[in-house]
Every structure is written in structure tokens, then in C-alpha cells.
């Protein structure tokens, strides 16, 4: 039977029916920050009401962490959540089936490991989106809890008291564009750079340079076979090439191997569905 897999991120919410590692139905819409978790779950339930009966469990990939079924934000600047929101209970109550919930980037790491670009035993996944999420698979096992929260590393740039993602991610790009007088979101900043706007190219280049340092640090810590890059910014045209171009390790053999997410924006839902099935067996 299929799994109802949902992915709630700082910018987008997606709900899919997933069967045997494949998305068979999909809806996607913007995450309305004014609604809060009850509103997001209600919105999903309304949009997928005609899928009732075709899934046997719910799997949620969510930004933030879930501890003992309760959901919370680590960086409220990417998505503000009430403290300890009873996510698993609410999902069970709303959809009437058993539910699991795991961090979005950890789900995506698992999805990429099982069905995408990271089949090796040791791999790291990074999503560059509203924030920077990460997931680690070592020896074929997904590390859970706070593991992989690379975006939450303490920053070592001009805003050292803030999480690292606040000086790299889509959230940061938007803030920088505003400072330059353009109130634009990341996709439009990329479009502006393509049409030759120097302020936009500058923001993207700084983000890529900083991400290159983060990737090198991950390589030193975990020596993964590859770092799979996903997320709206990570998958934007030319971004990964800029990150590769900004590596500073002189020895090429020490540099990380970056690859694009094979499952694209579906990595989180596919991974979450697979984790739900593994848990039920």
C-alpha cells in the first residue's frame, strides 16, 4: 500500500502518495507562516481528501526536529514553530493511520541513499533552501536526532553569534537583496544574476564560497564518498559549479565530491515513505 508522505519546509509544503520509492500523486503549495502547524496539517488534509483509503500510513519530513513525537524549530528564523508541537498525535488524528515524523534533510539523505545519487555506504546530503539542512548516512545507517544539522553550526563570518545558515541560505540571500534595494526571493535573485545584475551575482558567489568551506569541513569530519546537494538553491542552475570552483583545499584528492540530488525535490518524501515502511516491518 502507498504512504502519504508530506514535506513541510520553510518555503514549500508538499504532499505525495509514494509507492515503492516512486511518487504517484503530488500536490505542492507555499508554507503560510501565519497559519502554524494546525493550519498546515488542515491545508494538507483538504488538498489530499480524495486520496483517503489509498494509503496505510503517514510519513512526515519536517524542517526542525521531532523528539518523542513533538516537533520544534532549532532556528525559528527559517520557520517559527510552537514549543513541542504534538506532531505525531495530530497526524494520526487527522489522517486516521499510523504516522512517523523525521527531519526533512535526514529524510532526503535517506531517500538519496536508497533511490537517488548517494548509494554509497557513507554519504552526506545537504539541502540549500530557506535554511541549510543536512543528513548523514554512515555504514548504510541514517543518523537521526540532531545529527547533520550543519546549518546550525555556529557561524564564523561577520555574524558569528548566529547559525551558519543565516549567512548562506535563501533566507540570507533575500535579506542581502533587500539591503541592496531589491525585495526579492532567491529564485528571482538567480534570474537577475543570469541576466547580468552584478549585485545578484555577488550574493550568489558569497553564498557559494561559504558553502564550499562548509563542505570541506564536512569532508574532514566524516570523509563521505559524496555530498549530495539538494534544495531550491542547491539545485539552481550553476550553483553547485560555483561551490566546486570555490574549494580551497590545494589537494584535489581531499576535496569533497559534490553531486546533485537524483530525486530532486522529491528526495524528502521518498525517504520519509521508505523510513515509514521500514518501521512497520
Contacting positions for ligand BMX (CB under 6 A): 9-10, 63-64, 73-75, 78-79, 103-105, 127, 129-133, 149, 151-152, 165
Shortest distance, position 271 Cβ to ligand BMX, whole Å:
13
Instruction: Give whichever of 67 and 254 is closer to ligand BMX, judged by the CB atom.
Output: 67
Exposed, middle or buried, 220 (CB in 10 Å: 0-12/13-18/19+)?
exposed
Q: Which is nearer to ligand BMX, 129 or 216 (CB)?
A: 129
Of residues 2 and 261, the one with the C-beta less far from ligand BMX? 261
- CA 257 → CA 121, 150, 178, 236, distances in Å? 14, 17, 33, 18
As measured in angstroms, the least distance from the Cβ of 128 to ligand BMX is 8
**158 vs 177: CA distance, rounded Å:** 17
By beta-carbon proximity to ligand BMX, the closer residue of 10 and 256 is 10
d(CA 122, CA 125): 10
Q: Is residue 55 within 8 Å of residue 38, measured between CB atoms? A: no
Nearest distance from residue 62's CB to ligand BMX, in Å? Answer: 8
Q: How far is the CB of 52 from ligand BMX (least distance, A)?
A: 27
For residues 10 and 224, which CB has a smaller minimum distance to ligand BMX in the complex? 10
Taking the complex as a whole, the smallest distance from the CB of residue 50 to ligand BMX amounts, in Å, to 27
DSSP string, 199-251: HHHHHHHHHHHHHHHHHHHHHHHH--SEEEEESTTTTSTTHHHHHHHT---SS
What is the C-alpha radius of gyration for the chain, rounded to an integer number of angstroms?
18
Helix (H, G, I), strand (E, B) or coil at 138: strand
Q: How far is the CB of 31 from ligand BMX (least distance, A)?
A: 8
Nearer to ligand BMX, 115 or 172 (CB): 172
Amino acid at each position: 500500500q502507498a504512504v502519504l508522505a508530506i514535506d513541510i519546509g520553510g518555503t514549500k509544503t508538499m504532499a505525495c502518495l509514494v509507492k515503492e520509492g516512486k511518487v504517484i500523486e503530488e500536490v505542492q503549495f507555499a508554507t503560510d507562516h501565519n497559519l502554524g502547524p494546525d493550519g498546515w496539517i488542515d491545508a494538507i488534509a483538504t488538498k489530499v481528501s480524495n486520496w483517503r483509503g489509498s494509503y496505510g500510513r503517514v510519513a512526515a519530513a519536517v524542517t526542525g526536529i521531532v523528539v518523542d513525537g513533538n516537533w520544534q524549530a532549532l532556528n525559528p528564523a527559517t520557520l517559527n514553530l510552537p514549543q513541542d508541537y504534538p506532531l505525531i498525535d495530530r497526524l494520526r488524528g487527522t489522517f486516521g493511520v499510523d504516522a512517523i515524523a523525521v527531519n526533512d534533510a535526514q529524510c532526503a539523505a535517506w531517500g538519496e541513499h536508497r533511490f537517488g545519487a548517494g548509494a554509497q555506504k557513507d554519504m552526506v546530503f545537504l539541502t540549500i533552501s530557506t535554511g541549510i539542512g543536512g543528513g548523514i548516512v554512515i555504514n548504510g545507517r541514517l543518523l537521526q536526532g540532531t545529527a547533520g544539522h550543519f546549518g546550525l553550526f555556529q557561524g564564523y563570518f561577520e555574524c558569528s553569534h548566529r547559525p551558519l545558515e543565516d549567512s548562506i541560505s535563501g533566507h540570507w540571500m533575500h535579506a542581502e537583496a533587500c539591503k541592496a534595494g531589491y525585495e526579492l526571493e532567491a529564485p528571482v535573485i538567480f534570474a537577475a544574476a543570469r541576466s547580468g545584475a552584478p549585485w545578484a551575482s555577488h550574493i550568489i558567489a558569497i553564498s557559494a564560497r561559504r558553502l564550499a568551506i562548509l563542505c570541506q569541513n564536512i569532508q574532514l569530519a566524516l570523509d563521505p564518498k559524496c555530498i549530495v546537494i539538494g534544495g531550491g538553491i542547491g539545485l539552481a542552475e550553476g550553483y553547485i559549479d560555483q561551490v566546486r570552483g570555490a574549494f580551497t583545499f590545494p589537494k584535489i584528492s581531499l576535496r569533497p565530491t559534490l553531486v546533485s540530488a537524483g530525486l530532486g525535490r522529491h528526495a524528502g518524501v521518498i525517504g520519509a515513505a521508505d523510513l515509514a515502511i521500514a518501521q512497520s516491518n
